[in-house]
Amino acid sequence: MIMTDQSKNIAIFASGNGTNAINILDCAKEELFNSTIKCLITDKKDAGIIVKINTHPVYKNIPIYTIPFVKKIGESHPVAKARHEVEIKEILDSHHVNWIALAGYMKILSAKFLKCYFDESFQKNRVINIHPSLLPKYPGKDAYEQAFNSGDEVSGVTIHHVDSGIDTGPIILQKTFKRKKEDTFEDFKNRGLSLEYQIYREALVSLDWK
């Protein structure tokens, strides 16, 4: 059970270049929503977001924790995953984190971990994610590729609460963009990426931060 006070302390989880992570930090700096970014968690030692934050004139003091998922010799995957998430949870607890914003984080969080952030008052996990499709279409990896290869005339981006399924949690906000006849895949994807930055900002502003 998460803490019951009125603090709204966020950890950002990211695995890649972190453009959406910076977007979230920008929103917090602009005071678009009433919360504090306490730390960033990544599972990749070479994640681009590490350089982005460490060299950023404003965000370079944000604590960054790199926690790779590595199995020890003879260790099963479930045991390794549980140990990995215990390490993460200890860090989050040290920063009194009670919300998590996923920004291109490529590890699936277990139901046991998510339960720690379940809020009984509104029956959702205090974990949000961005996904590059109009869910429930194209959950999981390579959503832009799937939408483009399927010839979809309209695609979009979804912000949702995370549950124990793969991109199946309650939807917070969805926005669409149209495919143009002359689009290459890069054109199509870039239009989606631009929408990602917009929709995450809107979702952070509109979210019921209980």
**Amino acid, single-letter form, for residue 207:** L
Residue range 49-88, pLDDT digits in tens: 999 999 999 999 999 999 998 888 778 888 888 899 999 9
Pairing relationship of beta strands 36-42 and 118-119 according to DSSP bridges: unpaired
Contact residues for 121 (Cβ-Cβ < 8 A; gap 6+): 210
| Mean per-residue pLDDT of the chain | 91
Closest CA to 173 of 153, 197, 199, 193: 199
Q: Taking the domains of the chain in order of start, what are their residue ranges? A: 9-206
Residue range 163-189, pLDDT digits in tens: 999 999 999 999 999 999 999 999 999
Q: Around Cβ 67, how many Cβ atoms within 10 Å?
A: 18
State the average pLDDT over residues 2-22: 80
Q: What is the pLDDT of residue 5?
A: 44
Q: Which of 84, 131, 160, 161 is catalytic?
A: 131
Tell me the whole-structure pTM to 2 decimals.
0.92
Q: What is the pLDDT of residue 139?
A: 95
Q: With 70 as the cut, is the pLDDT of residue 6 above it?
A: no
Look up the CATH number of domain 9-206.
3.40.50.170
State the average pLDDT over residues 3-22: 82
State the average pLDDT over residues 40-57: 94
The question of whether 131 is a catalytic residue gets the answer yes
Residue range 153-164, pLDDT digits in tens: 999 999 999 999
Contact residues for 84 (Cβ-Cβ < 8 A; gap 6+): 67, 69
